[in-house]
Structure 1
């Protein structure tokens, strides 16, 4: 049910270049590892301010297809063959949202995956610093953890 509500709120008030709402600096920090056709993603959404946000949606896109069946964390929903979106929860000014942990099954084993993380929706807030909320990470099928 949470996934359905999450997707219903996504729309024209996207994070990039929006100027009608408050100003906030959403950031994502985390790590990713790939092993045995499973991608582990752990991330923490943060807000550097100056305004709090009641919620936002982080998008995680992969360079390869996800398996048909996924067990996603609460507040997360599949948004395509290679995409998952998750709500961050409230992002207080100079604070963190909920920690998001995903174990994503891939359709087939691959030697590497490119992971793209960005803000899909932020309630119309202005975010002038995209350097800390748009990440591209290459994960090799070694089981090693890569930070972003």
Structure 2
């Protein structure tokens, strides 16, 4: 019993010290990352990114969330595997990723409800098929995209 309490205590300390991010224990470890570009022009955001798994374990099924600082227009045409899940959020299945493997590139275009001069895009993993990602720094991206038509890389 004392050992169980010690393990739970260590998990609580890790949770508090980690800024509120719980790290799962016991599953295979994988390291997901997303790299790509985003551009904004006239209220339309174009995003393309490629998922990568630096391993050491394969990921059986991954899902990425894209969140915008501005609300999305009601009508959207999204690529297969992507769905709107909130007013400002689209989630995309990226599927299985081999250890040390690169997934299929995701290209999507969304329309914002207005025509802002800038938008903040946040990208992060919301599903990783039960694997443990000990390095959450590279699967979370934040990019400020200005309404210039220029590409902003992440």
TM norm structure 1: 0.87
Q: Please state if 1:138 is matched with 2:119.
A: no
Higher relative contact order (CA 8 A, sep 6+): 1
Q: Please state if 1:109 is matched with 2:115.
A: yes
How many angstroms does 1:16 deviate by? 5.6
Gaps in structure 1 of 5+ consecutive residues: 1-14
Render the CA deviation track for 1:4-35: whole Å, top value 9, x for unaligned: xxxxxxxxxxx962224210000100100000
CA distance in 2, matches of 1:48, 1:86: 20
Q: Please state if 1:88 is matched with 2:94.
A: yes
CA distance in 1, matches of 2:27, 2:41: 41
Q: 1:25 to 1:60 in 2, by over 3 A?
A: same
Larger radius of gyration: 2
CA distance in 1, matches of 2:24, 2:150: 37
* Native 8 Å contact 1:35 1:143 kept in 2: yes
Q: 1:16 to 1:101 in 2, by over 3 A?
A: farther
Q: 1:71 to 1:16 in 2, by over 3 A?
A: farther
CA distance in 2, matches of 1:54, 1:16: 21
Shift >3 Å, 4+ stretches: none
Alignment root-mean-square deviation, CA:
1.2
Gaps in structure 2 of 5+ consecutive residues: 1-20
Which of the residues 55, 67, 75 maps onto 1:69? 75
**Residues matched between the structures, number:** 134
TM norm structure 2: 0.84
Query: For residue 56 of structure 2, what is the aligned residue in structure 1?
Result: 50
Partner SS state of residue 60, structure 2: coil
